[in-house]
Structure 1
């Protein structure tokens, strides 16, 4: 049985198990063996496009409605997270795809058909056994077996220690991240936790880009986590068939009641990335790029009122440098000028230049678009509104949680600004309903990488609940 068949079989078994559990008689649920927690989300999104040198002209704007229904299932020692993700429940585009194209594209021509995916995000078993020997005495070993998201990393804007599968940080819309196939054995001693693990990151059912497909790996590793006073630390060593060796570590230190420091770093022997060609006649290609290094340093400050501020800097050697992005922008701008035909002329021979320009957009698929990043995060707990006289009398504002992120690229002055306003509509303890307004603006200096992303800004209205 090959790997794809094994994954499909696992998905089918997992789906069958979930159906059996969901159809278990109520008497079975009453003995507390079975637990079900449902979450759902409806997201209405409006995206304003820009003319980017990396992609063909796009419609001025598009509006979509997506949905997500997921259930967290617990049965004895089994845990699962199953999602039904729907896209383009409603879809509309506005504006012409190209001002130079004589054939105007209507919104109906560009609408996408609704689609749905059944996703087993996690399905794993947790148990353990005792092992006795003369040297160490009796040891209890925790066992994790199945598909699970390993969450060891430290950081808010970026987490270098997400080494098994990189997860998107702070999305504004619907995202259903999947775990990896894992076999893990953990023991605890006086110094902390020791974990020996095997992982396979190819256990995924959602579509992937070329970099994600080529980065799928199988490997083995060891991790140690410990605490000393007000500090916690971890280190790990991992070997897989893509990176051929990786080491990393992190530390979190509580400095006082208000301040916390955190940092992490990884080094890998081999890495994958998109290489800029030496000639504009050739496309950007995916290839091995040798060793790579990622690091993050951050500070967190919080006060008793409810303010929380995080300041982080991180570096990723796998991302394109500012000079490489400038080369990419200059090259694609020249290619697009050659690809744009005069008015009323035939467009023969332009498709090759358009394809070459589009290949440079693959730089946006890297874990970090630019090498150097600075992030400022601020949030205010909803309980803080009771501290001030002017807001204490406004009932609805007591349920509002504002959040703001500012991501800055110091090398080319690119900016991504994101804000969330979350309103807690209903919270009964067993059920909740939240209304969220989110907006993300991608801007900065005209020749910066962030200012040349295909999307100029996006505004979302999210309705999400739990029962």
Structure 2
């Protein structure tokens, strides 16, 4: 019913805006990697492009955000998709504020990692950030001069869901501004994770310097684990997907960081974070060793190569985690200019001594980016 209202509202009566993003991509693969798959098993076009049209509308408390996507790649049929990212109503009743519908609700502090983001669960380390898709919810918010209290009933009637963003839950947020310091306290209960609770802060030290931090405790949390590794490793090949979500207890997520910004537009960010839901160094060693052992079966009599490559593809699912290792250090140097916005990210994982370097360049002209 709400969607029909948006469809039939004249453009002149509603606030409508659009944004088009065109993302050309070039990909290459490391053929010496244990996880490499030949094109016959996993064809990955080197050249492809992703086009996204965002359409946003607002009218008297109603808000809508939708995306139309087009994906083209060499030697592949174009793919199209349409997503209703947000559709919700904000309204006031008895001097209290309410929201109902599908709405993006991001919480927490931090740039590379936000432990307190209990509802949206945004992956902050993606090279290309997709338009966020909201959570179905009922929300109540009470505002004071220097703070706010928020209660959320997320995904009503959905029950226990493997994907946390679709899991039925109750969430609470308390926000308070004390001088130059923002304080946040959050909590969430769901059948799947039970209790999650934590707090955070962001403090402005002076015109150039700020620092922030947060800590979250999870009574239960999910982690991708390999069934063959849990059974002792006596069997090298699985006949069905062996990567499963395993429930662990008493998890901790934490982040601590600072940023310095100059009058010229240059900024430097330093962040350190810890994530219990990520793999440990020993877990990575185990999955790499298993993959190496599986590759030795290629060409063996009675062992189809497709079965071996299929298992390696299943193993690769561990790369879908937002953090690959538990301990992370991030250095970001960026410049916010009138036309060019360059940035350089250096992510270091002390457990394995690994580095990930990401360079980006934003170009702005008038209202185009």
Listed as ranges, the gaps of 5+ residues in structure 1 are 1-12, 93-110, 131-139, 204-210, 384-398, 435-467
Structure 2 counterpart of 1:71:
55
The DSSP-based 3-state class of the residue aligned with 1:17 is helix
User: 1:53 deviation in Å?
Assistant: 1.9
Q: Is the 8 A contact 2:268 2:332 kept in 1?
A: yes
Aligned pairs for 1:104-183 (under 5 A) are: 111-130=75-94, 140-169=95-124, 171-173=126-128, 175-183=130-138
**Cα 1:129–1:149, aligned 2, differ >3 Å: closer, same or farther?**
same
Q: Is the 8 A contact 1:152 1:161 kept in 2?
A: yes
User: 1:191 deviation in Å?
Assistant: 5.9
Query: Partners in 1 of 2:11 and 2:225 — Cα distance?
Result: 57
State yes or no: 1:235 paired with 2:194. Answer: no
The DSSP-based 3-state class of the residue aligned with 1:291 is strand
Structure 1 runs (4+) greater than 6 angstroms displaced: none
The DSSP-based 3-state class of the residue aligned with 1:74 is strand
Point out the structure with max Rg over C-alpha: 1
Query: Partners in 2 of 1:246 and 1:150 — Cα distance?
Result: 17
C-alpha distance after superposition, 1:347-398 (max 9, x if no partner): 7433333333333222112231111111111111215xxxxxxxxxxxxxxx
Structure 1 counterpart of 2:4:
16
Structure 2 counterpart of 1:317:
276
State yes or no: 1:415 paired with 2:355. Answer: yes
Query: Partners in 2 of 1:275 and 1:19 — Cα distance?
Result: 45
Calculate the TM-score normalised by the size of structure 1.
0.71
State yes or no: 1:433 paired with 2:368. Answer: yes
State yes or no: 1:402 paired with 2:342. Answer: yes
Aligned pairs for 1:218-229 (under 5 A) are: 218-229=168-179
Query: Partners in 2 of 1:146 and 1:311 — Cα distance?
Result: 37
Structure 2 counterpart of 1:48:
28
Structure 2 counterpart of 1:87:
71
Query: Partners in 2 of 1:382 and 1:115 — Cα distance?
Result: 35
Q: Is the 8 A contact 2:87 2:103 kept in 1?
A: yes
Q: Is the 8 A contact 1:129 1:141 kept in 2?
A: yes
State yes or no: 1:196 paired with 2:196. Answer: no
Q: Is the 8 A contact 1:165 1:201 kept in 2?
A: no
User: 1:18 deviation in Å?
Assistant: 3.1
1:217 to 144, 164, 167: 167
Aligned pairs for 1:296-445 (under 5 A) are: 296-338=255-297, 340-341=298-299, 348-383=303-338, 399-425=339-365, 427=366, 432-434=367-369
Structure 2 counterpart of 1:108:
none
Q: Is the 8 A contact 1:226 1:234 kept in 2?
A: yes
Aligned pairs for 1:240-319 (under 5 A) are: 240-276=190-226, 277=229, 278-279=232-233, 281=235, 283-319=242-278
User: 1:168 deviation in Å?
Assistant: 2.7
Listed as ranges, the gaps of 5+ residues in structure 2 are none
Greater helix percent: which structure? 1
Q: Is the 8 A contact 1:223 1:234 kept in 2?
A: yes
The DSSP-based 3-state class of the residue aligned with 1:287 is strand
C-alpha distance after superposition, 1:71-102 (max 9, x if no partner): 110011101111111112xx12xxxxxxxxxx
The DSSP-based 3-state class of the residue aligned with 1:53 is coil
Calculate the TM-score normalised by the size of structure 2.
0.89
What is the aligned residue count? Answer: 354
Query: Partners in 2 of 1:170 and 1:379 — Cα distance?
Result: 16
Greater relative CO (CA pairs within 8 A, separation 6+): 1
**RMSD of aligned Cα (Å):** 2.3
